[in-house]
Structure 1
Amino acid sequence: MSKRTAMLLSGLCLGAIVAMLAFIYSTRGPVQASVAMPLETTAAAITPSEDEPEPTPEPEPSPTPTPTPSSKTSTPKLASQVPGGQLAAMVYDRQENKALLAEHADTVFTTASLVKLLIAFDALDKGTSSNSTVTQMLSRSDDNIASSLWVMNGGQSIVTRWAAKLGLARTKPPADPGHWGSTRTTASDMVKVYRYLMDNASDSIRSVVLTALRKATKTGADGFDQYFGIPNGIDKPWAVKQGWSCCDPTRNLHTTGLVGEEDRYIVVILTSRPSSVSWAAGSRQVTTASHMLESLLN
């Protein structure tokens, strides 16, 4: 076959193919090419088929319940007020004859000047001191008077004797007989001390001690501001015995006493913190903790 004949046959075949495609287009419409969906297309642009089941949504976690505000009778937590230290507290309602709060109430602390209550009971009971001298020791927290009565009346035996008489399970005399401020006690034992004063002490002892506690001076005999805690933190009548001491082995601040009309409540807060914490900061801590107790005192 000649080259010219081959070209003629190729042309005829190409023409036949074009004619056939034209016929198909006229009867069926254009053939569409498939298009791949771009990767950026969002899920919202995809409509699921009616035959395809909807995916089951994952269950949402239940929200954490929001704590309800504390009610007037709820029990406050005081220990957070002494970061890096310790706090024990007890509130006793003498009218209802029950404890309203007991937080670490059996934790042992150094008494500092709180032991002067036992020294006063002992001196008044034995008649070895005048009423005015005991009043001054308690109201001004006078260390010199306390030291004199401590030595005069037997030192450590004062604590041992009165702990047995009042049922103070964890109150112990100091290891050093000459250091009365290192006597050990607890918040629950201090509540028993005040219950004895109000319920079992003789009228003469009660009168002298209560008068002194109601007349607690703004500053102690050593110049320390002793109105921290109950006096500055609770807006009710009070009769208090405070305690403070340094490096025994920590810095201690205690506020204790009778609060409210007719001395209804016994309030005890014992605290200790590192000696690096200033006295002013420690006093504020105890005052704030005392103020938190007002919701319990009707």
Structure 2
Amino acid sequence: MTRWAGLAAIMLITAMIGIRVPTVRTPAEGNPVATSVAGAASAGSRAMRAADDAVGAARDVGVAIAVLDRTSGVMAQNSAATEPMFSASLAKVVVAVDLFDRRRTEALPLGDADVDLVRRALGPSDDAAMNTLWTRFDGMGAIGRVTARLGLTGTAPPVDPGIWGWMTTTARDVALLLRYVAEMPQPEGDVIIGALAEAPPVAADGFAQDFGLQAPGVRDITAAKQGWMQWPAETAYLHSAGLVGADHRFVVAILGRQTFPEPDWLTLRQSVDTAAAAAAGVLRDRLGPPVAAGGLAIPNVHFPGVVGHLH
């Protein structure tokens, strides 16, 4: 096998961490979202601009950024925020939302063991747990149902139904998705956010996930979902998106992509870290005291996110 063929076999997916504050919530579908204009003085707009400016011009690195203020409904986004990218394990949040919505509205049978699979898929980002949920509960259909319900215009199912990490999405859509999570009724929303709060620093696949919104110095005010993958060989993705503050007032989505003859994971991480720190630095002044405390490991070569053929 050539070096490039070996690299082309890499598909690595995610984990998350966060905070859990039970509140009475109603789903956010139908709530208007205004896109901020240049020069807007809101905290969300300033956070987005600080993050975008902090990224700078790292070679061959593109970072999409969206910041949503749930109080005002204003969405601030950079020019890349509507550009579709592979989702990696951000797809796990879509499936979790679909399962709990269907249980609430359609009486979908979802036992304790299934809820445990959701927690495992979201917390330690266990790909085997996600594979089971994907096949057992119509993961491909979940993407269509959630995008229609939330009005996500940049999210689409994977071209290969057996590789959920190939779902495409945008920073703007991820921000809308996580706003929905923050406003889901109990106990469903709290299961998702609680799984984020209990996520370990290292994912089930051994990938160190303390970057972006989960990095030291930032994770104390965030509940973030991480994602990473490399496909094709010359393109790497590193995502960090989550809820910021004890009341989850702000949603921050940072999706990173680098195309290079040989992706430089450390440079990509530095860009995501810098953007997250800059956004959190602006938002921290608008938040209450922290409610939770908090190296990028080069991934081992394996191919998670692939559902084996059923026999």
Equivalent pair of 2:221/2:244 in contact (CA under 8 Å): yes
Q: 1 or 2 for the larger relative contact order (CA 8 Å, sep ≥6)? A: 2
Percent of counterpart pairs with the same letter? Answer: 31
Q: CA shift at 1:170, angstroms?
A: 1.2
Query: Which stretches in structure 1 are left out of the alignment for 5+ residues?
Result: 1-71
1:159 has 2:143 as partner: yes
Cα distance 1:81–1:143, how it changes in 2: closer, same or farther (>3 A)?
A: farther
Q: Distance in 2 between matches of 1:237 and 1:215?
A: 14
Equivalent pair of 1:139/1:215 in contact (CA under 8 Å): yes
Q: Superposition pairs for residues 66-215 of structure 1, below 5 Å?
A: 73=46, 75-76=49-50, 77-78=52-53, 79-80=55-56, 82-124=58-100, 125=103, 126-128=108-110, 130-199=114-183, 201-215=184-198
Equivalent pair of 2:67/2:77 in contact (CA under 8 Å): yes
Q: Distance in 1 between matches of 2:69 and 2:94?
A: 22
Can you list the C-alpha shifts for 1:29-77, whole angstroms capped at 9, x where unaligned?
A: xxxxxxxxxxxxxxxxxxxxxxxxxxxxxxxxxxxxxxxxxxx947222
Q: Superposition pairs for residues 248-259 of structure 1, below 5 Å?
A: 248=232, 250-259=235-244
Match for 1:270: what amino acid?
L
SS of the aligned residue for 2:210 comes to: coil
Q: Where does residue 308 of structure 2 map in the other structure? A: none
Q: Distance in 2 between matches of 1:127 and 1:282?
A: 41
SS of the aligned residue for 1:251 comes to: strand
More displaced stretch, 260-269 vs 281-290: 281-290
1:226 has 2:209 as partner: yes
Count of equivalent residues: 228
Q: Counting helix residues as a fraction of each chain, which structure ranks higher? A: 1
Q: Distance in 2 between matches of 1:151 and 1:131?
A: 15
Equivalent residue for 1:270, pick from 243, 246, 255 = 255
Equivalent residue for 2:268, pick from 262, 279, 282 = 282
Q: Where does residue 25 of structure 2 map in the other structure? A: none
Query: Which stretches in structure 2 are left out of the alignment for 5+ residues?
Result: 1-42, 287-311
Can you list the C-alpha shifts for 1:148-190, whole angstroms capped at 9, x where unaligned?
A: 1111112321111111111111100000010000000001111
Equivalent pair of 1:110/1:248 in contact (CA under 8 Å): no
Q: Distance in 2 between matches of 1:216 and 1:240?
A: 10
Match for 2:149: what amino acid?
K
Equivalent pair of 1:216/1:240 in contact (CA under 8 Å): no
Equivalent pair of 2:92/2:130 in contact (CA under 8 Å): yes
SS of the aligned residue for 2:205 comes to: coil
